Amino acid sequence: MKQNKTNIIVFIILIVIGALYRVWDNRPLGFAPQIAMALFAGSVIKDKKIAFLFPLLSMLFSDALYQLLYTQGLTSIAGFYKGQWVNYILFACITIIGFKINAAKAGQIFAGSVAGVLFFFIVSNFLDWIGGGLDLNNQPYPKNFDGLMTCYAAGLPFLKGSLIATFVFNAVLFGGYNFAGRWVLKPVKQ
């Protein structure tokens, strides 16, 4: 029983930290912990229904913080906007990728990290292009192959930041989890 309460407290702390980090001012483009959190939750949380809550609550909490900062005039980024539900669906899908990751295997963590980031980059940019997203000049991307490639090119700084962030945060999350499992919470021999 105590172990379950400890896990819940740890996950709540991680959700809050992840959300607070996401709204940090002037962080590099795409450098946020949510992809790593989704992969980690999918990999280590036994109850898969609960695994989806971990990244989604972090996103919701940070979106609410963004909205509060936006309404107070402290940021130009709105927390709630048209079409944001797509990001929640994408993070749920990334959690499913995490289901296939063995938390003790660095190669699987690396492959899952790359897969999660590329999945988010490819699908989110495609949906932005098809949904009438705006380019750097505030013009809609043309609905042709060149427009799609322009949309992907505009997302490259986010891709780089997401890859680096996912590797860093997965090193912390999976590394801390494996360290705790091996050295801190290791079973007592009877």
Nearest partner of 39 among 89, 88, 87, 108, judged by Cα: 108
Nearest partner of 40 among 124, 108, 139, judged by Cα: 108
Banded model confidence at residue 42, pLDDT cuts 50, 70, 90: very high
DSSP secondary structure string for all residues of 44-94:
H-SSHHHHHHHHHHHHHHHHHHHHHHHHTTS-S--SS-TTTHHHHHHHHHH
Q: What's the CATH number of domain 2-184, 2.60.40, 1.10.1760, 1.10.10, 2.20.25?
A: 1.10.1760
Which tens digit of pLDDT belongs to each residue from 123-138? 999 999 999 888 878 8
Report domain extents, the chain. Answer: 2-184
Burial (0-12, 13-18, 19+ Cβ within 10 Å), 80: exposed
Which tens digit of pLDDT belongs to each residue from 141-164? 999 999 999 999 999 999 999 999
